[in-house]
Amino acid sequence: MKGPIMEDPNVEENQHHEEHQDVEEVQSVSQKDEAKPKRRNLKIIFLIIALIGVTVGTWAFIRYVVPRMSEMNWVSNQMIALYIVIGLLAVAVVAWLILRRTLRTRLRMQKAMRDDPDINDWLVIFNWTPKVLYVPTIIASLLAAGLMFLSEADVSFFGSIPGVVIGGVWLAVFFLNFLVEEYSISIKILLISLVTLGCFLLWLNLLGWVMDFLRLFRHLALSINATGYLLIGIIGLLTIIVSWLKGLFYYMTITPNYMNLQEGPTESGEQIGREDYNSRIDTSDFLERLMGFGRIIITFKDRKREPITVLVWRIQKRAQMLERVRAKFAIDHLQPPPLNT
């Protein structure tokens, strides 16, 4: 007699794995389809805002400039400076219209990835400058500039705020930012430092020297005028903007099958197969991670090649996307031939 037919557990496991992959692929395709109306709505909103801006600018020109055209000196130094700015803007617009089909920016690559029917999971990242970690200091500088302007103008109660108090708070924020940017502080080192500081203050309290120790910081009184704070904030913002603009042309595209390293505004770059590199997430810096930043490290099979370290924002989301990309392998689907009419 024949015994009962036993099903192979490996076959059931493979079937379950394939069904799970199919479900993930359907979810990725549906998410891509749902994202298209959102992008279309953003374009419509941008066009509406641009139309409103042009309308307001035209009204202001007709309302304030046209009645005074006869009184204006069109060859004054101020007007010449305005002509230079308008000319530079015109040159920039013309250059963009001519080169926009040639430039291969990060935004254009993201659009190409979204429109590719064979790629459902992908990741495009670029390396932020470490100075982006000074965003709290930049915000503090702009707030301090506003407070100093109000204090110098003696507006309401702002006139009673001492400049050294604003400077002291700003200096504390800058010092914390310096620690975050300069040193890699893990949660273990942070806890040890806090415990050590607490023990030190407790020892000073036993000796009755706590207040004397804190009075030493009075000599660190720092006072900067509003222009100085504003200049610090503007320089910091320009540094971050330059880093973002550089990231438009120097970036990394990771797909299930390959990784593309873009090195310039045109098609200059390098493609590396998935078997020739490995990826690693580094969030060991606790304070840096609290700000939403982390590092993606790419190591290569060729040991002679130096690893690539990329500082990225929203590291939690980027890490999840990278895990999904590295866990899959994309296969091109054959497109049906067109019907002959």
pLDDT of residue 305: 87
Beta strands 277-282; 269-273: pairing state? unpaired
CB 267, CB 314: distance < 8 Å:
no
Judged against a pLDDT cut of 80, whether residue 20 lies above it is answered with no
CB 79, CB 73: distance < 8 Å:
yes
Regarding pTM above 0.75, the answer is: no
Confidence grade of residue 218 (pLDDT, cut at 50, 70, 90): low
pLDDT of residue 128: 92
Closest CA to 287 of 136, 127, 126: 136
CA 28, CA 326: separation in Å to the nearest integer? 15
Reading the block at residue 83, the tokens are: 């002509």
Judged against a pLDDT cut of 50, whether residue 72 lies above it is answered with yes
CB 293, CB 181: distance < 8 Å:
no
Judged against a pLDDT cut of 50, whether residue 26 lies above it is answered with no
Q: What percent of the chain has pLDDT over 90?
A: 9
In this predicted model, what pLDDT tens digit does every residue of 288-319 receive, in sequence order?
A: 888 889 999 999 888 888 898 999 999 899 99
Structural domain spans, the chain? 14-70, 73-102, 132-245
DSSP 63-130: IIIGGGTTT--TTSHHHHHHHHHHHHHHHHHHHHHHHTTT---HHHHHHHHHH-TT----EEE----G
Mean pLDDT (the chain, rounded): 78
pLDDT of residue 74: 67
In this predicted model, what pLDDT tens digit does every residue of 185-203 receive, in sequence order?
A: 777 787 888 888 888 888 8
CB 251, CB 125: distance < 8 Å:
yes
